[in-house]
Structure 1
Amino acid sequence: MSEEYRQAYDRSIKRSEAFWMEAADAVSWTKPPTIAYSQEDGWFADGELNTCYNAVDRHVGAGRGDNAALIYESAYTGASESLTYAGLLEAVSKTAGMLQGLGVEKGDRVIIYMPMIPEAVFAMLACARIGAIHSVVFGGFAPPELAKRIDDAKPRVLLTASCGIEGKRVIPYKPLLDEARKIAEHEVDHVVVVQRLVHQAQISGPNEHDWATHLKDASLAPCVPLRSSDPLYILYTSGTTGTPKGVVRDNGGHAVALTWSLANIYGFKPGDTFWAASDVGWIVGHSYIVYGPLLAGGTTVLYEGKPVGTPDAGAFWRMVTRHSVDILFTAPTALRAIRKEDPEAQYLKLIGIGGVRAIFLAGERADPDTLAWAERVTGLPVIDHWWQTELGWPAVATCLGLGDLRRRHGSAGFPVPGYRFAILGEDGHEVGAGSTGAVAIRMPLPPGCYRTLWNNPAGYARSFATFDGHYETGDAGHIDQDGFLCVMGRTDDIINVAGHRLSTGQMEQIVAAHPAVAECAVIGADDALKGMVPIGFAVTKSGPQFGAELADQIIQRVRDELGPVAALRTVHIVRALPKTRSGKILRASLRKLVNGEPVETPATIEDGGVLDELKGLFQTKSDSG
C-alpha cells in the first residue's frame, strides 16, 4: 500500500468534509462553497459554478487556448479532426446560442440522440453552459425506448443526426425519431438535425431545423452561474419494460469528483491525452470522454469505431500511437475481442503501444485470464476498476495517481477515497473476509454520486431501504484477506443450488481461464430438483476448431476448482454472446432463454442475430403453446 493512498483514504473517511472542501479548490466557483455537506442539499450546497466554464473557458483564460482539447476520428468515414480549447469554446458557445434561440432556458431539458460525432460533445457542453439539463440517448435506440425518455424528461428541444454507423450498416436516425415522436405523448418544440455526408435526412415541418443552417446565425452564449445542486444531466439506465431510471447528476459534486479522480485515480495531468473507448450515451462517455479530461485540462479522444473490424484488431494500437494517448480506458469485452482475433498480439508488436502509461477497464467484470494476457502483451499495468451509472465515477480502483500499484486479477482493487464499503449478509450484518454478500456503501455517498432519480423519488429511496444507512449497489462480492474488493456480479447472479449459495461470476472466472475460451457466461436455470443449476456458454478463440470435448473439459475444470457442489453439467459452445452496445453480456436474456421464457430483443443489443441463433437451442414456453 502506498503511503499517499493510505493517508488520502484515511483523511477522506475521518475528516470527510475537510477532505472534499480541499478538493473543491481545484474547481473555479462564481461563489465558493462554505458548507461541505448538507443531508438535505448534498455537497457544496451554497456554492455556485458553471461546469462548461470549468471544462472549457477557464483553460482558454489561463493561456491554454491553443492546446488540443478534442480529437475526433471515425473509422467508418475516415473523418479526423482536432479542436483546440479556443476552437471548442467557439463551437460550444455557438451551439449554446442556437439552443437559446430556440427558447431553451435554465432548467429546460434537451435530449441528445446522436452518434459519436463532435456535435454530440458540443451539445452536452452547450447545455451545461446555459443551465439546460441534457439527456443523452444512445444513438439508434429503438423508437419505443426513445419515446419513454421523451415522455419522462419532457424535453423542449431534441438534437439528433441524420444517421449513425454500425460496422458496414448506415442507420438512418430520422425515421426512428419520427416514430418515437408518434409514440410519445409529450410534444417536442424543436428538432435540430446534423446532416452527415454518408446519409441526408429529410427535414420538414416548421419545428425541424438543419443544424448547420441554424447554427450560422446563432450568437455566442455566455456561461450561466448555477447552484452546486442544480442538475447537470439526466442519464437513463437501460430497461426493456416500464419507465427507465433517470439518474440525475448535480453540477458541483460532479465537477469536484471528476477533477479529483483524473489526478488521483488515473494519474492524469493537464496536457495529457485520455481516451475512453466508449460511447457518449453511457456513463463512461459522460464522465471520461466529455467532462473529466476537459475539467482536468487535458485532451480527450472521441472515436467512432470498434476494437476489431475497423479495419482489424490493430485499430486500438493505431489510435493510441497516432494520438499520443497517455491513459486508455476500455471495457474487458474490447480486449477479449482483440485477443480473439489476434491472440499472439501481432498487430501490437507491429504498431506498438506508444506512450500509454496504463490501461483501465470497467463496464463489466474483467476475467483474470484476459487481464493476464493484456498485461503480458502490452507490458503495462492493466487496472480493473468498478463503478456504476448511479455513482458517476470509480468507487473501487487501484489509485495510480496516489502511487498505488497493487493489483490482483479477479479484483477491482481497493475502495477509492470517499467510499466506505461493507459486505452484508441477508441479515444486514457484515460478513467475514472472503465470504460473499451484498456490496453496499455507507452513507453519505461522496461528491459526484446521484442524489435522486428524475420523477422517481420512490425508486431512488428503494436503493437505500434494504440496509439501514447504506446504498445497496445490487452487486454481490467479497473482500479478501488482503483487503482487495472482488465484485463478482449482480446479486441475482448468486444462485442457490440444493441449498448451496454459488457465484456464477466465480464459475465464469474458471471457464474464462481455459486456453480455448475467448469469453463466456454462466447463468442460473430453474431446476425442479435442486432449485437452480448453472448453465454455461462459451465462445472459442480464433484458430483451431474445438470439438465437443471442450464442453467436457470446461465442466471438469469447474468441478476440480469448486467441487461437485458446483453442479455445472451443461456448457454450450456458441459463435457469440448477446451483448449491449457497451459490451455488457445480456445475462438476463440468457436466463430467460434457458428457463423457457419468452425473450424480447432488448433495445440495447448490439447484434440481434446472436440472440436469434441462441433461441434455436431452447424451446420457449410460447413456442410450445
Structure 2
Amino acid sequence: MGKQRGFIESKLKENRVFYPSIDFAQKANIDTDELERLKKWAEMDWEGFWRYFAVKKIHWFKRFEEVLDDSNPPFFRFFPGGKLNASYNCLDRHIKSWRKNKAAIIWESENGETRIMTYQELYIEVNKFANVLKTLGIKKGDRVIIYMPMIPEAAVAMLASARIGAIHSVVFGGFSSEALRDRINDAKPKVIITADGGFRNGKAIPLKSKVDEAMEELDYKVDYVVVVRHIDRDIHMKPLRDFWYQDLMSDPDYAQIYCHPEAVESNNPLFILYTSGSTGKPKGIVHSTAGYLLWTMLTMKWVFDIKDEDTFWCTADIGWITGHSYGVYGPLAMGATTVMYEGVPTYPTPAKWWELVEKHSINILYTAPTAIRALMRLGNEWVLKHNLTSLRLLGSVGEPINPEAWMWYYTTIGNERAPIVDTWWQTETGGHMITTLPGAQAAKPGSAGTPLPGIFADVVDTEGKKINDPDKGGLLVITKPWPSMLLTIWGDDKKYIDVYWKKFEDKGYYFAGDGARKDSDGYFWIMGRVDDVLNVSGHRIGTMEVESALVSHRYVAEAAVVGRPDEITGEAIVAFVVLKEGVDKSRHDEMVRELREHVQKQIGPIAKPQEIIFTDALPKTRSGKIMRRLLRDIAAGRQINQDTSTLEDATVLDKLTELKQKLEEEMNKNNSSNK
C-alpha cells in the first residue's frame, strides 16, 4: 500500500529538543499564547487575519477593498485595487521619524573597508538614482537588470526601480555571461546596471566585460548600461550607451534630489527573479508588490524577532531570493539595520565572519547550512578568537540542516544561548513558510518546525491524500493561497500551472517539489527534493536522512548522496563525502567500512551506501546549494550535458569525474586480479 501510494520512508530519528530561555521568551515579539491566538485567528477568519495585517503594516496610497481575488485560480491576486510603493514603505516613512539618522545599511568588504548609510542618506541616493532612470527613459512596467557585486548601490538600484514602478531583475554577479544573456533575452530590459567589477576571495572579478560579452549575441537591444566605479578597473565604455553611475549621480540634470514615488497596484510586479531548472532555460519567478512586502515584514517581526536596536545580517547575496527578502526589503521595510558583506566567509582568514559579528555587534545571523558545515570543518579555533556575545538569534536557510551542523551552530556560535530558526521556503514563496518562532516554540535539530500563522501546509501521498502516520514521508504541499506567493512565471503562464499546480489541480494544492514528514507534534521534517528520493529495493529513502547520518560521524564535514542505476536494487546509493580538516585520508578502505557501518547503525542496512567517494569539495551553486543532479551524472558515469553556469567552482566537476574514473579503474583491476 505504502509503496503504491508513494510514501517516502523515514528511518533517521532525532529526539533532542531545545527550548528558548525564559529571558528570551519574555522579551520576544511573539510568545506561545500569541502564536496560538494568531493560528486560530487565521483558521477561523482567514480574510480578516490578512486584512488586519495588510492595513496595519503597509502604507497605502489607496486602500484595497478585497483581500483575495480567486476568480481565476491558480492566478490568485491579493489586495486587488490597492495602491502603494515599496520604496516609500522602505524609506519615506522612516525618514519622517527618529530613524532617519539610524544606520540602514552597514557595508564591509573583504579588505575591511566599511561604509554606513543612514536611512536619510539611502533615501537621497534612491531618489537621485530613480530620477536618473527616468531621465534614461525608464517608466512603469519597464524591466531593469541589476548585475552587481554586494555593494550598497545594488540595493539603491533595486529601490530606485521600485520607486518609479519599474520591474527589477537581479542577476547574481557570479553568473557567467551566457547565464546573463539568457536572462536579458527573457526579461528584455531597457537598462542594465552593473559595476566595473567586484572583489571575491582576494581577487578582482570583472563584471562590465561580462555584460559586454552577454550583449554580443543578444536577440534584444538594450538601450543603456550604467556602470558603478567600484574596483577602478580600466574597462571599455561604449559611447552613447554606457555611462558611469557616479557621473550620472553628480549631474543635477539627471539626479534631482526628489523623485515622487509611483503608486502601483498591489499586484504590479515588483521583481522577476530567475531560478535554474534542471534542464532548459531558467524560470523567471514574478513577485507582487503588496503581498510580498507584507509577508517579508511579518516574518522579520515573527521569525527573526526583529527589534529597533538589532543589527541584522543575512549573508545571502542579493542575487538570490534570500537576499531580496531578508537582505533588502524585509529589514528596510521594518526600519532595521541590515549588513552587506562583499566577500567569502574564509578570506582573508577563516575568522572573517566572526570578526564582522564582533566588530558590528551583530545580533541576528542568517546563513546557509553549507556555510555552517564549511566553517565547522575548519574547527573551533577561528570562532574562539572573537567575542560573539552580541548574537541573540541564529537562522538557517537554503536546504535542510543536518542535526550535527545544527548542534555546532547552536553550541559554538550561539554559545547555547541563541535560539536557531531553521526556515523552509523557496524563491516561489517569497518568504518563510515553515519554521519555529524563537520565543514561542521549541526547536528540534533537523526539523524546519511548523507552518507560520496564515500558512496552511500538509504532507500528502501521490494521490493528494493526507498522510497521518508520523513515520511516513510524502509530498509537501501548500493548501491555501498566501500573500507572498509568485504571480506567475514571466511570459509563461502555462509553465507556471504545469510546474506548481498540475500535480494536484483537482485539489488546488501548490506542490513545492519537496518531500517531507510530520512528527507527532506537528513538526515538519524536510526530506529533500522529490527528484532526489532514492528507490532502493522498493524502499523510498530521502537523501537528507542518509546525508545527516554521514555528517553525524566524527570524521565527516559534508556529504551529498545520490542514486545510480543498479540492476539488482533498482538504485544504488553513492555518497560523496568531504572529511574534516586533519583527518588521515590514507586509511581509505577502513574509513569506507566505518562510514557504511555508521549509516547502518543510524538508519538501517537498506541505507548503507554501496559506494563512498572522498572529495575535497562538492559542486555547489553560488548560493551554497549542492547540485545533486550533476553528482547523479558523475555517479552513473554519464557525460554532463546540463547547465553548469550557476556553479561556484566549475573545476570541482572535473576533479570529481577524474576521481570517479580512477576508482572504477582500480576496482576493475582488483576484480581482474581476483579472477
> Under a length normalisation based on structure 2, what TM-score does the superposition of the two structures give?
0.89
Aligned-residue offset at 1:62: 2.2
1:410 aligns with 2:441: no
Alpha-carbon separation, structure 2, partners of 1:239 and 1:475: 15
**Is the CA contact (8 Å cut-off) linking 1:433 and 1:479 kept in structure 2?**
yes
Q: Indicate the residue corresponding to 1:21 in structure 2.
A: 51
Shift of residue 395, structure 1, vs aligned partner: 0.6
SS in 1 for 2:385: helix
- 2:658 matched residue in structure 1: 616
Superposition pairs for residues 88-487 of structure 1, below 5 Å? 88-217=122-251, 218-219=255-256, 220-239=258-277, 241-308=279-346, 310-341=347-378, 343=379, 345-377=380-412, 378-379=414-415, 380-400=418-438, 403-431=439-467, 432-444=469-481, 446-462=482-498, 463-467=500-504, 468-487=507-526
CA RMSD, aligned part only?
Answer: 1.6
- Tell me how far 1:567 sits from its aligned partner: 4.4
Q: Which runs of 5+ in 1 are unaligned?
A: none
Task: Give the residue type in structure 1 aligned to 2:494.
Answer: A
Q: Which residue of 1 aligns with 2:671?
A: none
How far apart are the structure 1 equivalents of 2:512 and 2:356? 34
The CA distance in 1 between the partners of 2:425 and 2:583, in whole Å, is: 37
User: What amino acid maps onto 1:613 in structure 2?
Assistant: K
Counterparts of 2:351 and 2:608, CA distance in 1: 40
Instruction: Return the alpha-carbon distance in structure 2 between the equivalents of residues 383 and 26 of structure 1.
Output: 23
Matched, 1:498 2:537: yes
User: What is the aligned partner in structure 2 of residue 602 from structure 1?
Assistant: 644
Q: Equivalent residue for 2:21?
A: none
d(CA) in 1 for partners of 2:332 and 2:309? 10
The offset of 1:465, in angstroms, is: 1.1
Q: Distance in 2 between matches of 1:221 and 1:599?
A: 49
| Distance (whole Å) between structure 1 residues aligned to residue 573 and residue 58 of structure 2 | 49
CA contact (8 A) 1:140 1:176 kept: no
Q: Which amino acid aligns with 2:332?
A: L
The answer to whether 1:4 aligns with 2:42 is no
- 1:429 deviates by 0.9
Q: Deviations over 1:161-193 (max 9, x none)?
A: 111222133221122111111222011011111
Letter of the structure 2 residue corresponding to residue 584 of structure 1: K
| Deviation per residue, 1:427-458 (Å, 9 max, x gap) | 221122221111111022x1111121110101
- 2:632 aligned to which of 567, 572, 591: 591
- In structure 1, how many angstroms separate the alpha carbons of the residues matched to 2:551 and 2:616? 15
Aligned to 2:568: 529
Among candidates 55, 64, 77, match of residue 33 of structure 1: 64
After superposing the two structures, state which structure 1 stretch, 495-504 or 292-301, moved more.
495-504
Give, in whole Å, the separation in 1 of the partners of 2:236 and 2:191: 18
Aligned-residue offset at 1:617:
2.7
Aligned residue number for residue 20 of structure 2: none
* Alignment correspondent of 1:54: 89
Q: Following the alignment from structure 2 to structure 1, what is the Cα–Cα distance between the partners of residues 540 and 260?
A: 57
* One-letter code aligned to 2:423: H
Amino acid at match of 1:253: G
Determine helix, strand or coil for the equivalent of 1:466: helix
Letter in 2 for 1:260: L
Q: Post-superposition shift, 1:520?
A: 0.6
1:64 corresponds to which residue? Answer: 99
Query: Aligned residue pairs: how many?
Result: 614
CA distance in 2, matches of 1:434, 1:7: 29
Give the Å deviation of 1:491: 0.2
CA positional deviation for 1:334:
1.2
Which residue number corresponds to residue 14 of structure 2? none
Q: Distance in 1 between matches of 2:608 and 2:298?
A: 46
Q: Is the partner of 2:57 in helix, strand or coil?
A: coil
In 2, the alpha carbon distance for the partners of 1:51 and 1:3 equals 32
AA matched with 2:282: P
Q: Which amino acid aligns with 1:9?
A: K
Q: Which has the higher contact order (CA 8 A, sep 6+)?
A: 2
Separation of aligned partners in 2, 1:232 and 1:270 = 26
Query: Distance between the aligned counterparts of 2:264 and 2:307, measured in 1?
Result: 27
Q: Which amino acid is the alignment partner of residue 334 of structure 1? A: A
- Matched to 2:546, the amino acid is M
- Aligned equivalent of 2:17: none
Aligned amino acid, residue 61 of structure 1:
K
Q: How far apart, CA to CA, are the structure 2 residues paired with 1:183 and 1:479?
A: 49
Residues 276-296 of structure 1, C-alpha deviation per residue, up to 9 Å, x if partnerless?
A: 011000001000111100000
Report the 3-state secondary structure (helix = DSSP H, G, I; strand = E; otherwise coil) of the residue aligned with 1:617: helix
1:316 Cα deviation from its structure 2 partner: 1.6
Secondary structure of residue in 2 paired with 1:436: strand
Is the Cα contact below 8 Å between 2:198 and 2:231 reproduced in 1?
Answer: no
Deviations 1:432-489 (Å, cap 9, x if unpaired)?
2221111111022x11111211101011112111112100000001001111100110
What code does the residue aligned with 2:201 have? G
Q: 1:241 Cα deviation (Å)?
A: 4.3
CA distance in structure 2 between the partners assigned to 1:12 and 1:265 by the alignment? 17
Structure 2: distance between partners of 1:271 and 1:34: 35
Whether contact under 8 Å (2:421, 2:437) holds in the other structure is: no
Q: Is the 8 A contact 1:105 1:131 kept in 2?
A: yes
Equivalent pair of 2:446/2:525 in contact (CA under 8 Å) = yes
Matched, 1:541 2:580: yes
Question: What per-residue deviation string (whole Å, max 9, x for no partner) do you get for residues 556-604 of structure 1?
Answer: 1112233222242211111111111111111110001111221156111
2: CA distance between counterparts of 1:271 and 1:97?
32
Q: SS at 2:341's partner residue?
A: strand
CA distance in 2, matches of 1:596, 1:190: 45
For the 8 Å contact 2:278–2:629, the answer to whether it is kept is no
How far the C-alpha of 1:528 sits from its partner, in A, is 1.9
Q: Cα distance, 1:198 vs. partner?
A: 4.6
Paired residues for 1:558-597 under 5 Å: 558-597=599-638
1:618 aligns to what SS in structure 2? helix
CA–CA distance in structure 1, aligned partners of residues 637 and 232 of structure 2: 42
CA distance in 1, matches of 2:87, 2:423: 27
CA–CA separation in structure 2 for the residues paired with 1:541 and 1:70? 35
Gapped runs of 5+ residues in structure 2? 1-30, 666-675
Hey, what's the Cα distance between the residues in 1 that align with 2:88 and 2:121?
14
Partner of 2:408: helix, strand, or coil?
helix
Moved over 3 A (4+): none
1:204-225 alpha-carbon deviations (Å, 9 max, x no partner)? 2321111111221222322111
- CA positional deviation for 1:619: 4.7
Distance 1:500 1:166 in 2: 44
In 2, Cα distance between equivalents of 1:81 and 1:567: 51
2: CA distance between counterparts of 1:572 and 1:412?
A: 29
Contact 1:533 1:567 (C-alpha < 8 Å) held by counterparts:
no
In structure 1, distance between residues paired with 2:133 and 2:113: 26
